[in-house]
Amino acid sequence: MASTPLTFKLETTSGRARAATMTTPHGTVKTPTFMPVGTHGALKAMTTEHARETGSQVLLGNTYHLTLRPGEQLVEKLGGLHKFMAWDKTLLTDSGGFQVFSLPKVEITDRGARFNNEFSGENMEITPERSIEIQNRLGADIIMAFDECTPFPATEKQASQGVRRTLSWMERCIRAHKRSDDQALFAIVQGSTFQHLRASCAEVLVSMDLPGYAIGGVSVGEGHDLLCEVSDFTTPLLPENKPRYLMGVGLPEDLLACVGHGVDMFDCVIPTRYARSATVFTSRGRIRLSNRRFRRDAFPIDASCDCYACTGGMSRAYLHHLFAANEVLSAILCSIHNVHFYQNLMREARKAIFEDRYDTFHRDFLTNYRGGDEEASP
């Protein structure tokens, strides 16, 4: 591979947990880090300024959705995705593969994937070359290879075919990549829950010497235990001097378990999706603010939280009212809180790694988080 603008410096470890600094053309990222998802170039119910205030360092955009509308040509013409969405920090775009393979009617061949445009009905195709072309035009700092995301459960034959295509498509992605001077192309390890397939896939990808490596094909219904098995097994197969990214994960307990395996980067829609359905995260577990028990609750979401919603005088009772009244502000405030909760969790994890007490931090968090009670006062 040609030289890449992405640099990765491992700073310290605590067990297998790692703290590092990653630098891209748009700034420095301290890991472990959580990347909120802005599927259409926007976080749900949050502005980029809100994201910045939560401490978010990287946002994620989706290639599939952005090529459907407004189209990568328009984004490029208007100055690229950073300018388009008013975000001056690091951006990552996924390849669109996960979304395409999740469509109800999709034809997958060795060439790529064919599907119908959900808006116009026209027949479309995404190949490794097309995915990279779109991502080159969008202009994110980190772009992802087009891979075959194996569904769960999968047979060994299905998973093996997914690995074969993923490796073949990786080579095509490398050849198609025209902006290696300012965009870092990450590889994605597939193999479902089959360790020998994960190992063989990782071995070939590592030999290609990419700027970073992701673990894909997880968070597709396998559950916490299998997710952790895959992460625990696969992470040590990836280079120590490159960022490791676990895609689509997850709940707080998932993140901390996988930080403990040596994962550096995470993304997931959970914080904002849960917020829109009145579910918020606290140091004592999740609570659902639409429940009537919060109708007269004068406490903030979490007394230990310093986000805008928790320090700005908004009580659980007020938020309960906003959800009951279908006020948009309910989703805004709870999204800010949830994303802040995730970012603070990563900050605390990083601090614990530097103090070489990550296992204790992880254990204490779970004790409080799982021992909490929706009805308990903060």
Known catalytic residues are 94, 267
C-alpha span between 171 and 181 (Å, rounded) = 18
What b/e readout covers 187-209, taking b as 16+ CB neighbours within 10 angstroms? Answer: bbbbbbbbeebbebbbeebbeee
Residue with tokens 């969405």: 85
Nearest to 85 by CA among 117, 118, 52: 52
Residue with tokens 């080579």: 171
What single-letter amino acid sits at 131?
A: S
What b/e readout covers 253-264, taking b as 16+ CB neighbours within 10 angstroms? Answer: ebbbbbbbbbbb
Q: Which tokens go with 13?
A: 């470890």
C-alpha span between 274 and 64 (Å, rounded) = 23
C-alpha span between 255 and 118 (Å, rounded) = 33
Nearest to 314 by CA among 301, 331, 332: 301
Q: How far is CA 130 from CA 41, 103, 177, 318, 342, in A?
A: 19, 18, 10, 48, 33
C-alpha span between 68 and 40 (Å, rounded) = 10
Q: How far is CA 63 from CA 6, 130, 135, 214, 215, in A?
A: 20, 10, 7, 17, 18
